[in-house]
Amino acid sequence: MWNNQPRLKLWFVVLLLASLIGAVTGCAAVANTDPTPDSSTTAPTATATAVPPTIAATDTPQPTDTPEPIPFTLSSSAFGPNETIPERHSCDGSNLSPALTWTTPPDGTQSLALVLDDPDAVGVVGFVYDHWLLFNLPPDTTALPEGIGLGADPPEGSLPGVNSARTQRYAGPCPPSGQTHNYVFTLYALDTALDLAAGADKATLLEAMEGHILGTTQLIGVYTSP
């Protein structure tokens, strides 16, 4: 029977080496357990936000075209602006008031007033000469016929004022012989009916109209006395 001591020592060394190798292998295995990013994994992508479609120019509400208001204008079939007034409408003729027409007055008009005067008379008599005053014409009136007071009636409800000749009717152009004067027809649109009696003069009429004038329109004619 041989001595077993050397064999025991050899097995002890083998076991020791096996233990060391196992320890090293275990450490390596633990080190390799750390997760390694998988290159095949897709990174999360941002979700695109839906953008509403742009409104086309044709879809944009466009301002509605509104018609221009018709100007408030005064005219006559007897003569045009700055034209000669026919003799029949003067003191040298039949002294008939000319036919007049006008467009629709401004909104809110409650009455109309008409004044005919001669500013060129200042050089002759020293003041503007008033030839015709008519007020409280109904707001829906749009014309006056020829010859008011001489065969034609004024609109119902209207009242005459007093002119510079101190009469309550039309007095036609009547400048000194050979002179040419401008005759101004002025129509006033008022927001009220005037609380005046027939026979009011122009100064009183203008004072009563103050603060009530919505619009005015004028027609100027010229006349030369023979």
pTM above 0.75, yes or no: no
Residue 41 included in any domain:
no
Query: 143 CB contacts (<8 Å, ≥6 apart)?
Result: 99, 100, 101, 102
Within a domain: 79:
yes
pLDDT 10s digits, 151-203? 999 999 999 999 999 999 999 999 999 999 999 999 999 999 999 999 999 99
**Tens-place pLDDT, residues 35-76:** 444 544 444 444 445 545 554 544 555 555 666 667 999 999
β-pairing, 100-102 vs 143-144, is: antiparallel
**High-pLDDT (> 90) share of the chain, %:** 69
* Residue labelled with tokens 């007093």: 162
> Residue 30: helix, strand or coil by DSSP?
helix
Residue 178, domain CATH: 3.90.280.10
The answer to whether residue 32 sits within a structural domain is: no
Alpha-carbon gap, residue 161 to 114, rounded angstroms: 10
- One-letter amino acid at 72 equals F
- Give the residue carrying structure tokens 């122009």: 202
Distances (CA, A) of 206 to 93, 107, 113, 200: 30, 21, 10, 10
- Tell me which residue range forms the domain holding 134: 74-224
Q: Is residue 83 part of a domain?
A: yes
In the block, residue with structure tokens 């329109």: 217
Q: Is residue 39 part of a domain?
A: no
CA dist., res. 145 & res. 42, Å (int): 96
Q: Flag whether 59 is in a domain.
A: no
Contacts of residue 137, defined as CB under 8 A and 6 or more positions apart, other chains included, come to 111, 112, 113, 114, 154, 155, 157, 158
Is 214 part of any domain? yes
Amino acid at 213: I
Segment 192-216, tens digit of pLDDT? 999 999 999 999 999 999 999 999 9
Report pLDDT digits (tens) over 65-115. Answer: 666 667 999 999 999 999 999 999 999 999 999 999 999 999 999 999 999
In a domain, 11, yes or no: no
For the chain, the domain total comes to: 1
